[in-house]
Amino acid sequence: MVRVTVPIPGRSYDVVIGPGVIGELAEHLPELPHAVTAFVVADRSVSERWFEPLAIGLSERGLAPVLLTVPQGEDAKTLPVYGTLLHQLATQEAHRDDLVVALGGGAVGDLAGFVGSTYMRGMPFIQVPTTLTAQVDAAIGGKTAVNLPEGKNLVGTFAQPRLVLADVEILRTLPDRDYRSGLAEVAKYALTLDLELLAGLERDPGPVLTTQPEAMEDLVARCVAAKARTVAQDERDTGARLVLNYGHTLGHALERLEAFQGRSHGEAITIGMVFAAKLAEARGLASPGLAARSARLFRSLGLDTEGALPPADRVMAAFGLDKKYHGGVRFVLLEEVGNPVVVEDVPQEQVRRILEEMGAS
């Protein structure tokens, strides 16, 4: 078991990573004076597998576990589902001292975190991420959100959980596509922040691809440590944290334009990272070879680096709702691996050319 602290002044918390840690909740949950009920937000298939072990730990700590079921995936991250959860809390007389538990992937984590951080102006919540994407990224750092039809994550808060419990054993039960999708976020850390991780993945992705528990624990802990360092520097996403959006400008646009029915988040950001590497090369920021090296890494992790794209006009219009927008669209690009920068004033024509080169009409 590995413990990584997210050192945010006054709101530090631990991320506990290892096989079987879901069964150790009682041991790791911080003191919650006056909490009576734990409202566990999960979709049906996750709750069928993982609610019970979690409920045992909650009961051991004197909390009554109540399951609140939500739709699967991004369908949960909507204002109507958010509203329903608030009504459920109110009708069950939830109090500000009670606990919300996010049990699931990134979508459930964002939604439940948003509920926890807004019901009665905020109640304690913890994250129990069950996908690789959520364990290495979404559950850490306190971003909560729901989507609007107009764009992803357009409503939300910054609110830190009290604990994150990342059970790597759960990752072995994931469908292959979900797992590979999470490897895209892993590749993001490797390319932007952790050259040792990059070297290891380039040398031999085998242990990670075969989900060996030790390799998983090490992988998740490395990514969490990189994220914890970054979030501690810039909780509110105005500087260092923007780097964690590498590949996400195009990635989020694709998710939205495909209405979350096409590529998964990881598949979309993979295309986004290929685009970002090509753009960095085209601007003379990165030396030629970055895009090819990135694509080789993605392919070795089982991620597609090509595929149909929506028309360039629609993609570029979608960039206008990107969270990094700051008087104009900003892109996270690499000067070289391990050296990300935020770039403004990229000519539209250059963006269009690369999108078209990648297959957009």
Instruction: Pick the stretch among 1-9, 135-143, 161-169, 339-347 that binds ligand GLY (CB under 6 A).
Output: 135-143
Residue 92, strand partner residues: none
DSSP string computed for 124-152: -EEEEE-SHHIIIIITSS-EEEEEETTEE
Task: Provide the minimum distance between the beta carbon of 127 and ligand GLY in the complex, in angstroms, as a whole number.
Answer: 12
Measured CA to CA, the distance from residue 66 to residue 55 in angstroms comes to: 8
Specify the amino acid at residue 254.
L
Measured CA to CA, the distance from residue 130 to residue 106 in angstroms comes to: 9
- Which residue of 143, 252, 256, 324 would you call a contact of ligand GLY, by CB under 6 A? 143
Instruction: Pick the stretch among 31-39, 240-248, 282-290, 299-307 that binds ligand GLY (CB under 6 A).
Output: 240-248
- Which residue of 124, 129, 141, 310 would you call a contact of ligand GLY, by CB under 6 A? 141
Q: Which is nearer to ligand GLY, 25 or 226 (CB)?
A: 226
Measured CA to CA, the distance from residue 163 to residue 271 in angstroms comes to: 32
Q: Which is nearer to ligand GLY, 32 or 159 (CB)?
A: 159
DSSP string computed for 44-98: HHHHHHHHHHHHHHHHHTTPEEEEEEE-SGGGGSSHHHHHHHHHHHHHTT--TTS
Task: Provide the minimum distance between the beta carbon of 342 and ligand GLY in the complex, in angstroms, as a whole number.
Answer: 13
Q: Per rule CB under 6 A, is residue 241 in the interface with ligand GLY?
A: yes
Q: Which is nearer to ligand GLY, 54 or 332 (CB)?
A: 332
How far is residue 74 CA from its own chain's centroid? 12
Residues 165/126, Cβ–Cβ less than 8 Å: yes
- Which residue of 137, 178, 194, 281 would you call a contact of ligand GLY, by CB under 6 A? 137
Q: In the chain, how many H helices and how many E strands? A: 15, 11
Instruction: Pick the stretch among 137-145, 264-272, 294-302, 327-335 that binds ligand GLY (CB under 6 A).
Output: 137-145
Interface characters, 199-238, with ligand GLY (x: CB under 6 A): --------------------------------------x-
Instruction: Pick the stretch among 150-158, 213-221, 239-247, 274-282 that binds ligand GLY (CB under 6 A).
Output: 239-247
Strands 143-148 and 151-158: antiparallel
User: In the bound complex, which residue of the shown chain has the CB atom lying closest to ligand GLY?
Assistant: 244
Binding site for ligand GLY (CB under 6 A): 137, 141, 143, 237, 241, 244-245
